């Protein structure tokens, strides 16, 4: 049985690809659980303080994944960048 988070993963992966300017089929993510992927992206992408707090305060990983997808689909000038 697919969980709601697993069902959300294709939308998140498409948002990641869009934010990187690549085709979704070209996206290569490490093998990890859906929950680990969401939490890793939240921790390793640069978000301003307010956006990061919004992500952290989501009432669960599914809500966090949906909010992360929303943030990744914003206008390109507003997209987060990887931390250095």
Domain segments of the chain as ranges: 4-75
Alpha helices (H) along the chain: 4-20, 34-44, 49-56, 61-72
Going from the C-alpha of 65 to that of each of 23, 30, 37, the distances in angstroms are 20, 17, 9
Beta bridge partners of 66: none
Instruction: Per-residue pLDDT tens, the chain, 84 aa: give them.
Output: 469 999 999 999 999 998 888 898 899 988 999 999 999 999 988 888 999 999 999 999 999 999 999 999 885 655 566 665
Structural contact between residues 32 and 68, judged by C-beta atoms closer than 8 angstroms:
no
Supply the pLDDT for residue 35: 95
Q: What is the pTM of this model?
A: 0.83
Supply the pLDDT for residue 25: 87
Tokens read off for 13: 């992966």
For residue 82, report the phi and psi dihedrals to the nearest 5 degrees.
Answer: -60, 145
Supply the pLDDT for residue 15: 93
Supply the pLDDT for residue 1: 47
């Amino acid at each position: 049985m697919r969980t709601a988070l697993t069902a959300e993963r294709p939308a998140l992966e498409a948002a990641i690809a869009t934010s990187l300017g690549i085709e979704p089929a070209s996206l290569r993510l490490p093998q990890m659980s859906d929950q680990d992927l969401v939490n890793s992206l939240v921790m390793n992408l640069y978000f301003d303080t307010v956006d990061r707090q919004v992500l952290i305060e989501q009432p669960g990983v599914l809500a966090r994944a949906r909010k992360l997808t929303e943030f990744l689909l914003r206008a390109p000038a507003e997209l987060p960048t990887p931390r250095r």
